[in-house]
Amino acid sequence: MTAVLASKKGEQTYEQGLDLYPWFEEFYQNFVDTGVPNSLLIYGEKDIGKLNFALYLANYLLCENKKNGNPCFECQACKWYSMANHPDFFPILPEDSYDLLPFTVNPENIVSSSSEDKKQSKYIRIDQVRDILSVNELSSYRGGMRVILIYPVEAMRIEAANCLLKSLEEPAPNVFYILVSHRLESILPTIRSRCRLLALPKPSQDASIDWMAKHSQLSNQSRVQLEAKFLEMERSPLKVLQALEGKTFNSSQMLDELSNPSGIDHTKCVELLSNAELADILRCLQKWCIDLYMVYSGILPRYFPSRVDVLRQKANNIDIIGLNQFLKILIQELKLSSHPLFPKVQLESVLSKYAQLFKS
Ligand SMILES: [Zn+2]
């Protein structure tokens, strides 16, 4: 199995068809066996592969020679789909997010912004939804299913969401809506109530490590090393790969810095802000400090067990009352971090306080 969503330049080209991530395989099969509803809202944590699941499901629905709940990858519909050229497949994403797809979408299936306003491109606008829904009042090109994929639903402007509601109320026959959300609680209740909700499971450890071991960029690492990376990157194998490619916050780098409090390289830490939110970095620091607290209390670390030796060494030398206060400060800092005025200054100040927890 090769994950194509991780990179357009993966080992397997998309033209060979999209594989489902292995941690979804059993779950997917059970779901499909119960029948796919016309209006589905898939949700779950970020970076577990929800888009991959949705795309695989769309492929299955469009396939004209389905095999045991899976697409055949051989029929004309599958071929068109794998070339992002299926006339009955309509992915709706914010304009600046189409590159998240593992293929280049047929430009005819993208409704471009008519306005000059670039800020709008991170939202799904009403014209994107309206144009596609109006197309779907006609019959499908292939005489089979039509699939409308919306990713993520929370990017829809309120007018766009209202426009979609009407279609969800009375879905045309053979039209399937696959909605995907990172934050179910932010979705309009009226949309939620019209869909079947499907919570996707988090990647299991064994399946994730098997998958990572097969990836060329990680194949030279032992299972113990891969397990450490998996745990450090919030149990998301996709995040491990993104971090390697410099696309997301690399918590391993941050942990290396935290392991050496007296010599923290502030410049390196601040550089992490180029592809991470301040909140991501603070949460990593918070987990590290909780682990320090646990290890000090004679308990095994919860978040970074692979670094237990360093944690023990640092915990031997820590001002535990100071750590307690620092954890409270971190909670306050995290509250402020969603709209930081000066993230670099805030981060440097927090790191200085962290360094002072250790006796020299
Ligand atoms: Zn097929």
- Residues with beta carbon < 5 A to ion ligand 1? 63, 65, 71-72, 75, 78
Residue 100 identity (one-letter amino acid): L
pLDDT of residue 112: 62
Amino acid 192 reads R
Per the document, the length of the chain is 360
Q: Report the separation in Å between the CA atom of 7 and the middle of ligand 1, taken as the mean of its atom positions.
A: 23
Distances (CA, A) of 294 to 71, 96, 235, 300, 301: 48, 43, 20, 6, 6
CATH of the domain spanning 14-199, picked from 3.30.565.10, 3.30.70.20, 2.40.30.40, 3.40.50.300: 3.40.50.300
Of the candidates 175, 169, 125, 108, which has an alpha carbon nearest to the alpha carbon of residue 148? 175
Q: How far is the CA of 69 from the centre of ligand 1 (A)?
A: 11
Q: Where are the beta strands (DSSP E) in the chain?
A: 39-43, 89-92, 146-150, 175-181, 196-199
C-beta separation of 39 from 171 below 8 A:
yes
For residue 134, the CA-to-ligand 1 centroid distance in Å is: 26
Q: What is the pLDDT of residue 17?
A: 65
pLDDT tens-digit map of 174-199: 899 999 999 999 999 999 999 999 99
Tokens of 121: 């491109």
Distance 182 CA to ligand 1 centre (A): 29
Give the Å distance between the CA of 295 and the centre of ligand 1.
Answer: 53
For residues 296 and 282, what is the distance between their CA atoms, to the nearest angstrom? 21
The alpha carbon of 65 and the centre of ligand 1 are apart by a number of angstroms equal to 5
The residues that bridge with 199 in the sheet, in sequence order, are: 43
Q: What is the Cα–Cα distance from 73 to 340, expressed in whole angstroms?
A: 47
Residue ranges in the chain modelled with pLDDT below 70: 1-17, 105-120, 135-140
Ligand 1 centroid – CA 74 distance (Å): 5
What pLDDT, on the 0 to 100 scale, is given for residue 15? 52
Question: What is the per-residue pLDDT for 108?
Answer: 62
For residue 196, the cross-strand partners are: 40
Q: Is the peptide bond before 171 cis (omega within 30 degrees of 0)?
A: no
CA distance 299 to 277: 30
Give the pLDDT score at 113.
57
Nearest to 106, CA basis, from 88, 128, 94, 129: 88
Whole-number Å distance, alpha carbon 127 to ligand 1 midpoint, is 31
Question: For the chain, what are the domain ranges?
Answer: 14-199, 249-355
Task: Give the pair of three-digit tokens for residue 256.
Answer: 């290396």
Give the right CATH number for 249-355 from 1.10.760, 1.10.3470, 3.40.1800, 1.20.272: 1.20.272
Residue 1 has what pLDDT? 27
97 CA distance to ligand 1 centroid (A)? 27
232's tokens: 């450090």
Calculate how far, in angstroms, residue 251's C-alpha sits from the geometric centre of ligand 1. 40
Query: Token pair of 101, please?
Result: 């797809």
